[in-house]
């Protein structure tokens, strides 16, 4: 008579964790290494491109920009911002016409009004309906006084219907 195997005997002969044919650990390691190498290569390329662009900008434009001058003068002299601005203004040449136009544009942009937003939509809708009712139900001059006048919509409808009725009666009366 054969005895049945215990759980430990069954597990001792079985592979642990996964089937070796379905997961290739070597492939995963190679992929991760290639990914890390690619990331490092992209980083090095970006670093040298940035350095090359900075060198090109410094070579083609040796004068520091306005903001660089502002930072350098404030840092180098150890002054507060008002004193540094005074020193920069003292060293500036007389403004050209282009500079004056730019300053005027800057001032105009600073004075530009904020957008008017709708604050109370219910009140705005009521005002719009009131205006529409006024346009439909009141007498008004259009253009110069004495030129044309609008009449309330109800009267206009009655006049149009009456004129159509007169036309149909006169057309119908002549045919009999």
Beta strands in the chain, from DSSP E residues, in sequence order: 140-142, 148-150
Alpha-carbon Rg for the chain, nearest whole angstrom, is 44
pLDDT at 169 (0 to 100): 75
d(CA 89, CA 84): 9
Of 25-34, 67-76, 111-120, minimum mean pLDDT range: 67-76
Please say if the pLDDT value at position 130 is more than 90: yes
d(CA 151, CA 138): 6
Exposed, middle or buried by CB within 10 Å (0-12, 13-18, 19+), for 165?
exposed
pLDDT at 42 (0 to 100): 97
Please say if the pLDDT value at position 90 is more than 80: no
pLDDT at 41 (0 to 100): 97
DSSP state of 142: E
Exposed, middle or buried by CB within 10 Å (0-12, 13-18, 19+), for 84?
buried
pTM (global) more than 0.75: no
Residue 158 token pair: 């009655």
Reduce the DSSP state of residue 27 to 3 states and report it: helix
């Amino acid at each position: 008579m054969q005895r049945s195997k215990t759980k430990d005997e069954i597990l001792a002969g079985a592979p642990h964790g996964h089937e070796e044919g379905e997961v290739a650990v070597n492939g995963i390691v190679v992929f991760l290494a290639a990914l890390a190498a690619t990331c490092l290569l992209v980083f090095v390329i970006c670093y040298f491109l940035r350095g090359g662009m900075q060198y090109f900008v410094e070579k083609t434009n040796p004068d520091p920009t306005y903001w660089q001058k502002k930072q350098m003068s404030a840092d180098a002299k150890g002054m507060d911002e008002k004193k540094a601005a005074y020193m920069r203004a003292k060293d500036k040449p007389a403004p050209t016409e282009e500079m004056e136009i730019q300053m005027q544009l800057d001032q105009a942009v600073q004075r530009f009004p904020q957008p008017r937003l709708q604050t109370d939509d219910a009140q705005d809708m009521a005002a719009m309906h009131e205006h529409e009712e006024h346009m439909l139900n009141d007498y008004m001059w259009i253009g110069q006084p004495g030129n044309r006048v609008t009449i309330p919509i109800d009267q206009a409808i009655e006049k149009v219907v009456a004129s159509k009725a007169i036309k149909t009666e006169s057309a119908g009366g002549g045919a009999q």
